[in-house]
Structure 1
Amino acid sequence: MDRKIEKKSWNSKRIMTITGVSAIILLVAGSIYFTSGKSKLNVDVERITISEIKKGPFQEFIPVNGVVMPRTTIYLDAVEGGRVEKRFVEDGANMKAGEPILKLSNTDLELSLANEETSVFNVLTQMQISRDNAQQNTITKLNQMAEVESALREAERVYKLNKHLYEQKAIGSQEFKKSENEYQYAIARKKLTTKIMSQDTTSTKAQLTQMQESYDHMKSTLALMRKKVGDLIVRAPVDGQLTSLDAEIGQNKTKGQRLGQIDVLSGYKVRVDIDEHYISRVYNGLMAEYNVDNKIYRLKIKKVFTQVTNGRFQVDMEFMGEMPKSLRRGQTLQIRLALSDETQAILVPKGGFYQQTGGNWIFKLNDDGSVAYKVDVQLGRQNPDYYEVLSGLQPGDKVVTSSYDTYGDMQELVLKGEKAEN
């Protein structure tokens, strides 16, 4: 009798086929999952810096170094050249205005002074002689005028007498005409003498005036020459401290050569070097701060030197109000120069992240702080401590601000260990 054989639906071959296909599907799915997901990197929080985004006062400033200098410096140059004959004081001495510093000798200049004095004396002598001659000439002319006036009066008297006698027919016309001619001659002579005397007076006065002007000019020249010789003794122009004195006994100094300087000790200024990158943003009136012994001193830019040397330019600052008592000439100060007014802003602390991101993105922590993921940000102004956040972050957010050198193209950081916040 035949027996019916039942067909098995799950034989070993079928099971193996299904198992193989399932393994392939799982492998492909796993491959797709792991290749399409975000790249992650485990990071020890002890090796990174986590900072919190805050909102607070922000001011754009740059740190600069300045050198303390006297507010006023007067340079000592050789007004006249010569050999250093004597030094009255040493470098660093406190001077009063007019006190001698050193003496130069210049034989040619001193000889010129002697010649000029002789010339002035000669002109003065000649002028005195001319004045005496003029006075003598005037006396002579006055005597002549007196004689002419006397002769005129006598001729007038005779003429008038003879005219009366002639009218009375007591004398002849010949005698009358003679007295009339003598009277007319006396009148003409007086007019001529008066004119000559007037011209002589004018000429004498012009001559004396010219000689006086010449004498005054020579006296001015002599005074200038004496001053030039006097300038061979170099004196302090103002009260102050003598610095940078460069003059040794026997040394020759040419006219205009720098001998030293006088520092007026009534106050100080600070000469500051600034990178040329900021030259368009620096101007007179900008404020700065100097912090010493937990006290802040304020300074203001008084002068900007626009000449750029080796990529830097200089400004002069002066203290506003009180100055530090410990301030000394030549001292270097670390100053914060403000480039903007203080405003409220969202702030992220500075860190090494900026070198890799350029301020375009940052790793931001999730709520429980277990993962940090990339977010796009926009940063604005900066100072040595903070960047200004324009978009992408809010106060309270936590971000990784340390260097991203070893993260490559990772999209997420899986944080391991205890949180380290800055």
Structure 2
Amino acid sequence: MDRELSATTRQAQKQKRIWQIGIAVALVAAAVFGFRNLITPSLERSEIRTAVVERGPVQATLTATGEVVPEHEQAITSPIQARVEQVLRTSGEEVKPGDQVLLLDRSFTQLAYDKMKDEQEMNQHKRVQLRLQLQKKLNSLESQLAIKRMSVKSLQARLEDEQYLLKIGGGTQEQVKQADLNLKIAQQELAQLERDIASERQLLQADEQELGFTLAMQGRSIEELERKMQQAEVRATHRGVVTWVKDEIGSTVNAGDVIVRLADLSSFKVKASVSDAFADQMQPGGEATVRINNTDLKGTIAAVEPTVTNGTVTFYVALQDNAHTLLRPNLRVDVYVTTATKPNTLRVKNGPYFNSASNSDMVYVVQGDELIRTPADIGASNVDYVELERGVQPGDEVVISSIKDYEHLEKVKLK
């Protein structure tokens, strides 16, 4: 026969069931929490870089590659076709005005110079001979002229005599006409001689002038050759440093070939290039920043080359401090050309996160131990800062490192 349980027993059984239910609930909760942790991705906080949103200016820039070059550089070209005979200064040596850098072989030019001098002397002798020949001819014509003038006077006197004889009845009309005809013929011959002498004088003057022009041109050519032979002793025209020299002794250079480059290393500029896709944004006077070892040097675009080479546009940046101690010839630098300026906007430090095209409208904000995906419009940017136009507030901590494997998630847990 069954006996009724005592109150103490019933109380013990009830507590036992409560404990069993509590343990089961705890196990279920632990299982749910553990599963949630298994399906929720997480990141070590040390694996990410963050930056705090702040207010400040942002300049939108284009990045170009640049090279430091001397602000003033001189290229010396060969004045003649010659061989390199001697190299007196090598690259890197300092020179002052008048210092000889290179010597060219002048033998070929010397032959041309001697030939031209001989031709000039021959033309000078020809000029003297021509003057003597023409003067001899003029002397002969002037003698004929003097004789003809006397003949005219004689015929004029004969005419007067015939006219007198006709008047007193001692002559005839035919004799007067014949004397008059002879006089007119002599007068015509006299006039012709005078014209011939004038023509000969003009011819002499023209021939002398032509020879004078020839001699003058030869003289200038001789002076030019003399100057070129002097220039074959290649000398510096101003103080500077030899940056390059044609140092292959015996090699041939043509007239106009660059054989020496001299640079004034007291001031510099930057030669930069950028894709031709941004050619319309490269304008003289535009602001630019040159970065050397984390040091920024301000400058402006001084000139833009009109031609496009291999898909790039070349431009030159004039530096405010063109004699900075960090500037060195041929030093590679980064150039940032300013295209727009936001004087007071929300900004955050730039980082790899913003280099992805898929991140143009989202950022991850740190909230406690989670990263929350937040809509945010990204505006102007440069190598240092990125503008965030909406979605964040000053003081928010934003991820700036790459988290490419988590970009599709709304939340990421931090450990």
TM-score, reference length from structure 1? 0.74
Partner of 1:378 in structure 2?
A: 377
1:95 aligns with 2:57: no
What does 1:285-364 correspond to in 2, within 5 Å? 285-290=285-290, 297-305=297-305, 307=308, 309=310, 314-320=314-320, 323-324=323-324, 327-333=327-333, 335-351=335-351, 353-354=353-354, 358-364=359-365
Cα RMSD over matched residues?
Answer: 4.2
Amino acid at match of 1:360: D
1:232-271 equivalences under 5 Å are 232-247=232-247, 250-255=249-254, 256-264=256-264, 267-271=267-271
Q: How does 1:132-147 map to 2 (within 5 A)?
A: 132-147=132-147
Post-superposition offset of 1:128: 0.8
Amino acid paired to 2:247:
A
- The unaligned stretches of length 5 or more in structure 2 are 1-20
- What's the counterpart of residue 196 of structure 2? 196
Q: Are 2:392 and 1:397 equivalent residues in the alignment?
A: no
Q: Which amino acid aligns with 1:85?
A: E
CA contact (8 A) 1:51 1:349 kept: yes
Q: Which moved more, 1:60-69 or 1:131-140?
A: 60-69
Q: Is residue 57–residue 341 contact of structure 2 (8 Å, CA) maintained in 1?
A: no
What SS does the corresponding residue of 2:140 show, helix, strand or coil? helix
Change (3 A) 1:168 1:266: farther
Say which structure is richer in helix. Answer: 2
Structure 1 segments unaligned to the other structure (5+ residues): 1-21, 417-422
- Aligned sequence identity (%): 17
Number of the residue aligned with 1:72: 72
CA shift, 1:53, in A, is 2.5
| CA contact 1:95–1:242 (8 Å) conserved in 2 | no
Corresponding pairs, count = 387
In structure 1, what is the Cα distance between the partners aligned to 2:298 and 2:110? 54
* Structure 2 match to 1:107: 107
Query: What is the aligned partner in structure 1 of residue 163 from structure 2?
Result: 163
| Equivalent position of 1:12 in the other structure | none
What amino acid sits opposite 1:129 in the alignment?
Q
1:142 counterpart letter in structure 2: E
More displaced stretch, 166-175 vs 371-380: 166-175
SS of the residue 1:127 aligns to: helix
Given the two structures, how large is their TM-score scaled by the length of structure 2?
Answer: 0.75
Distance 1:112 1:373, change over 3 A: closer
- 1:130 is displaced (CA, Å) by 1.0
Which amino acid in structure 2 is aligned with residue 152 of structure 1? V
Deviation by residue 1:188-226 (Cα, 9 ceiling, x = unmatched): 332332233334334444443444344444444444444
Q: Could you say if the C-alpha distance between residues 364 and 111 of structure 1 is closer, same or farther in structure 2, counting changes exceeding 3 Å? A: closer
Q: Using a 3 Å threshold, how does the CA distance of structure 1 residues 133 and 265 change in structure 2: closer, same or farther?
A: farther
User: Tell me, what secondary structure is at the counterpart of 1:60?
Assistant: strand
Shift of 1:259: 1.6
Structure 2: which amino acid aligns with 1:136? K
Q: How many Å apart are 1:176 and its aligned residue?
A: 4.5
Cα deviation per residue 1:271-305 (whole Å; 9 max; x = unaligned)?
23546675554333221235789986421112335
Q: Is the 8 A contact 1:297 1:323 kept in 2?
A: no
